[in-house]
């Protein structure tokens, strides 16, 4: 049997309340008593039971983090940002993978709520109605990280994806391209349909260029699929040779697909990538890219969550972080 607060109290000849005060840093304890208690704690190897504490105090100092897939570097970098700030504020993290399946997302939220997390960080390319409904039943704050809420209701931390896409496309247009392939993740996902694609179209229209449906290529978000689909781009009529990808996995997949089949970047194709996670950082040629501050997205989201959990007044719950376009070698100079 593990040693409890009672054992310490008995050993130190004080009440459990006093031990509790010492453990929780309450100042109303005479230094001598404090020392005596601390000694007993040390001697007995007492370790406070966070579960009992959680039950009594109704706070678990634990936050739930739901992520599509932690093995994808975009999410693992975000998660690291979340984790560091969580540590700073002494929260633990319960991490779960949803694979972006709505059913699973709902299950996980339910599950985390059952564990009595004090707050939650949620990541996905889209918020379904079911998820939205589930979140509404929660009595704890939930912050979206790198996740778009088209209804602009939920607290969130993002960059302006539409503007970023617009800027990427414009970059290509400015360097002379008139036909730009938009290699995107599923349009069933808000972030692609309602944001990045909108930016793509806006840039085109603003330049007086036609929106050609055949240049819009919908893929899933996997590297492998993008890799295998290089030829869909290569076989496009009129051979458009500029590509903007909605994320790293797609950009790098296409880049490698093209190169492994004898085509060159940027000579044959110019590519702009989105995100620039560690995965994209190591490929060559280095990718001209929208650099999303992944770590910061996670860190700021967690910081926002701490404020919400503490009941602090937050002036703006929809945080937009800056991004930048970095020119490297996947476009001609």
Single residue of 3, 20, 44, 69 touching its own copies by CB under 8 A:
69
Extended beta strands in 146-234, E state: 156-158, 180-184, 216-218
- When the beta carbons of 60 and 156 are compared against its own copies, the nearer one is 60
| 282 lines the binding site for DNA (CB under 7 A) | no
Single residue of 33, 92, 102, 128 touching its own copies by CB under 8 A:
92
Separation of CA 297 from chain center? 7
Q: Binders of DNA among 38-67, rule CB under 7 A? A: 46, 48-49, 52-53, 55-58
b (16+ CB within 10 A) / e for 187-213: eebbbbbebbbbbbbbbbeeeebeebe
Residue 256, contacted partner among its own copies, DNA, none, CB below 5-8 A by kind: its own copies
Q: Binders of its own copies among 269-308, rule CB under 8 A? A: 278-279, 282-284, 295
Close Cβ partners of 31 (under 8 Å, ≥ 6 residues apart): none
> Minimum distance between the CB of residue 123 and its own copies, rounded to whole angstroms?
14
> Minimum distance between the CB of residue 112 and DNA, rounded to whole angstroms?
15
Piece of 45-53, 141-149, 211-219, 299-307 that binds its own copies (CB under 8 A): 45-53
Smallest CA-to-CA distance from 137 within 118, 107, 110 is with 110
C-alpha to C-alpha distance for 164 and 141, rounded to whole angstroms: 28
Residue 314, contacted partner among DNA, its own copies, none, CB below 5-8 A by kind: none
C-alpha to C-alpha distance for 123 and 125, rounded to whole angstroms: 7
- When the beta carbons of 28 and 315 are compared against DNA, the nearer one is 28
Single residue of 25, 30, 71, 322 touching DNA by CB under 7 A:
30
Extended beta strands in 174-307, E state: 180-184, 216-218, 242-245, 270-275, 288-291
Residue 140, contacted partner among DNA, its own copies, none, CB below 5-8 A by kind: none
> Minimum distance between the CB of residue 17 and DNA, rounded to whole angstroms?
3
């Amino acid at each position: 049997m593990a040693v409890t607060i009672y054992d310490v109290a008995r050993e130190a000849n004080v009440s459990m309340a006093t031990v509790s005060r010492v453990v929780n840093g309450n100042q109303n304890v005479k230094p001598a008593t404090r020392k005596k208690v601390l000694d007993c704690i040390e001697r007995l190897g007492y370790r406070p039971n966070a579960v009992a504490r959680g039950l009594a105090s109704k706070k678990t100092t634990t936050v739930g983090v739901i992520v599509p897939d932690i093995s994808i570097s975009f999410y693992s970098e975000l998660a690291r940002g979340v984790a560091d700030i969580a540590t700073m504020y002494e929260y633990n993290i319960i991490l779960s993978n949803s694979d972006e399946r709505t059913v699973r997302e709902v299950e996980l939220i339910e599950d985390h709520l059952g564990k009595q997390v004090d707050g939650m960080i949620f990541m996905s390319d889209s918020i379904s109605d079911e998820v939205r409904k589930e979140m509404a039943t929660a009595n704890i704050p939930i912050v979206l990280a790198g996740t778009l809420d088209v209804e602009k209701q939920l607290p969130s931390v993002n960059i302006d994806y539409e503007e970023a896409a617009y800027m990427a496309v414009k970059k290509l247009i400015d360097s002379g391209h008139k036909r730009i392939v938009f290699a995107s993740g599923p349009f069933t996902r808000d972030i692609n349909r309602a944001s990045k694609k909108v930016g793509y179209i806006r840039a085109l229209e603003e330049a007086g260029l036609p929106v050609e449906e055949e240049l819009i290529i919908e893929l899933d978000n996997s590297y492998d699929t993008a890799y295998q689909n290089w030829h869909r781009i290569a076989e496009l009529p009129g051979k458009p040779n500029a590509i903007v990808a909605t994320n790293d996995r797609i950009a790098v997949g296409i880049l490698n697909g093209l190169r492994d089949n004898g085509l060159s970047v940027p000579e044959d194709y110019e590519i702009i990538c989105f995100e620039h996670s560690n995965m994209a950082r190591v490929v060559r040629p280095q990718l001209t890219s929208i650099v999303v501050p992944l770590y910061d997205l996670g860190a700021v989201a967690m910081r926002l969550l701490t404020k919400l959990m503490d009941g602090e007044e937050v002036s703006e719950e929809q945080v937009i972080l800056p991004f930048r376009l970095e020119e490297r070698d996947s476009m001609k100079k």
